[in-house]
Amino acid sequence: MVSPLGIQAMDEPRSAPSRYSAVWGMAGISIADARGAVRTLLARAGHHPDQQSNQDAQLVVSELVTNALRHAPGPGALLLELSADAARLTIAVRDGSSDQPLLREPDPRRAGGHGLHLVTRLCEQVRTVPSGEGKRIVAELLLDSGAEPGG
């Protein structure tokens, strides 16, 4: 298992957003660690791991980090920022490639190439921001009310 080079988690008053960040070097980051980070951040804010929005956020993080590792191996970063009201999660993944992500034509016979479609369907907004020697993919996900499942 590869550990991120640096992890910072902050518990702040509800008037400020909660954040998590991780950076990685050439070895990459564990997708399980990235999913666990978003699951934990959202659970602390009242979004139970069984809730659809928590599961959707884990899927988006998994897809974006996987794409960064697969298509731009090398140093990268993940930033999760939960709004003060815990209703919106911003996910930013930085990588070292300036190539824009390609939204490929759906093909159910093809293995792979479907993750970005999932991300764009689940998120309110997905954008690419050029950044020095690479780019940041920024996805904004609206979260449900935080009520327990079935409640």
How crowded is residue 21: how many other Cβ atoms within 10 Å of its Cβ? 17
User: How big is the chain, counted in residues?
Assistant: 151
Reported as a pLDDT band with limits 50, 70 and 90, residue 85 is: very high
Buried b (16+ CB within 10 A) or exposed e, 23-62: bbeeebbbeebbbebbbebbeebebeeebebbbbbbbbbb
Q: For residue range 97-130, list pLDDT tens digits in order.
A: 999 887 777 767 766 666 888 999 999 999 999 9
pTM, 2 dp: 0.82
CATH of the domain at 89: 3.30.565.10
Is residue 147 included in any domain, yes or no?
no
Flag whether 150 is in a domain. Answer: no
The 8-class DSSP code of residue 29 comes to -
Contact present, 22 and 6 (Cβ < 8 Å): yes
**Crossing angle (nearest 10°) for helices 115-122 and 52-71:** 140
Domain count, the chain: 1
Beta strand extents in the chain (DSSP E only): 6-10, 18-24, 76-82, 88-95, 125-131, 134-142
What's the mean per-residue pLDDT of the chain? Answer: 84
CA distance 41 to 54: 10
Within a domain: 148: no
In a domain, 84, yes or no: yes
Q: What's the mean pLDDT in 84-89?
A: 95
Which tokens belong to 40? 């934990």
| Percentage above 70 pLDDT, the chain | 80
Residue 133 pLDDT exceeds 90: no
Indicate whether 25 belongs to any domain: yes
Per-residue pLDDT band at 67 (split at 50, 70, 90): very high
Domain limits for position 71: 6-142
pLDDT, tens digit (0-9, with 9 covering 90-100), for 32-59: 999 999 999 999 999 999 999 999 999 9
14 pLDDT more than 80: no
Q: Give dist(CA 7, CA 34) in Å, integer.
A: 11
